[in-house]
Amino acid sequence: MLQTDIMPVNQWAYNAKLAEICGPDVPKQPDWLQALYAATTVHILGRPDSFRDEWGPQEIAVYDIADKFCTQMMQELHDHNA
């Protein structure tokens, strides 16, 4: 049985366990997703009044990884539906 009362503290572990329980049709979350979440959280908390306007090299690198993944995924979906 999953302990849903600790989800905010262990959200990533909970998501991984839930995907595992659901079987092979539910893919594991990519590692970059957790890095993107962490970088975004630090960025927002560190710059609550200007987080939309100021970007450092670390944030840009993480977002570039996410952008490449999303572009690849969209291409794969397009190729699959063609």
User: HEC profile for 45-60?
Assistant: HHCCCCCCCCCCHHHH
pTM score: 0.54
Q: What is the mean pLDDT of residues 16-23?
A: 90
* pLDDT above 70 for 48: yes
- The per-residue pLDDT for 22 is 92
Three-class secondary structure of residue 2 per DSSP: coil
Structure-block tokens of residue 69: 């993944």
Contact 62, 36 (CB under 8 A): yes
